[in-house]
Amino acid sequence: MIARKPDWLKVKLPAGDNYTKLRGIVREGNLHTVCQEAMCPNIAECWGVGTATFMILGDTCTRGCRFCNVKTGHPNALDPLEAFKLARSIDELHLNYAVITCVDRDDLPDGGARQMAEAIQAIKHRTPHVKVEVLTSDYRGDVDAIRTVVEASPDVYAHNIETTRTLTPHVRDKRCGYDQSLAVLKSVKDMRPDLLTKSSIMLGLGETDADVIQAARDLRAIGVEIITFGQYLRPTKKHLPVVEYVTPEKFAWFAREVKPLGFRQVVSGPLVRSSYHAEQAFTTKI
């Protein structure tokens, strides 16, 4: 286990007028952001320019992945006004790009897919100019649930494989699966070939270079256009230890290695998270 973080992982404390304004709106609307729940290292940068990734379906996940800081347990009932509150907050923040993610809700018949669809539709109705990226759970592989979200017409459909095939049983909850995650992304493409798909991989958990490159190949083989690589950071001592702090140079190497596979966008760096610079997918030339 490595005890000390290298200099390249040091970030500024959250500050600034836009950050303060966004925090106030989130609190007032009783909303949850993955920025806070997952202790994202980019919260100062992203919130400072008035952007955020919102988390719906509550703040309690029914799964217990060994890398994740979102609390696990028995979730509360769904908020029937959540979609409205979310759309109103995004409007008040004057965002042009919104990322909507969620906890896993295995307690719900559709895994929360209908609530996700309603959130997309509410945002599109109130602010038609806003592009919406969703980062969904695997819905236990339920194709109908996936279709519910796809038919709500997000601009990007993301689902994270998180790690390599070899490490998946060690890193993710037993109800998750490498092939199940690939199947989700493939289903999205089968339903709507024009819908951009995206996935993310954490590094520093003991993965091999060959396994990381193979994971990228697996994603590209099912049509995924956007991939991100970021450093795993241990949230607490109860979570998996960091095996390696991958250098910025190595992250750049991974980007160079996978870009020729045909990805539209590759974002790779120690502080990169799934939604980091997400809006650039629409300004990146193919």
Give the residue with greater pLDDT, 36 vs 128. Answer: 128
pLDDT at 69: 81
Determine, yes or no, domain membership for 285.
no
Determine, yes or no, domain membership for 171.
yes
Determine, yes or no, domain membership for 258.
yes
User: How far is 43 from 211, CA to CA, in rounded Å?
Assistant: 30
- What does the chain come to in residues? 286
pLDDT at 41: 61
Mean pLDDT of the chain: 87
Determine, yes or no, domain membership for 286.
no
Query: Which of 99-103, 209-213, 251-255 shows the lowest per-residue confidence on average (mean pLDDT)?
Result: 99-103
Determine, yes or no, domain membership for 5.
no
Domain that holds residue 242: 11-280
Please report which helix (H) or strand (E) contains residue 91, including its range.
helix 82-92
Give the residue with greater pLDDT, 281 vs 235. Answer: 235
pLDDT at 286: 43
Determine, yes or no, domain membership for 233.
yes
Separation in Å, CA 21 to CA 46, 52, 133: 13, 12, 22
pLDDT at 43: 64
275 HSE (CA, 13 A, CB side): 29
Determine, yes or no, domain membership for 4.
no
Determine, yes or no, domain membership for 125.
yes
User: Which amino acid, residue 222?
Assistant: I
Is the Cα dihedral 62, 63, 64, 70 positive or negative?
A: negative
pLDDT-based confidence at 73, cuts 50/70/90?
very high
pLDDT-based confidence at 12, cuts 50/70/90?
low
pLDDT at 4: 76
Domain count, the chain: 1
pLDDT tops 60 at residue 235: yes
Which CATH number do you get for residue 63?
3.20.20.70
pLDDT at 271: 86
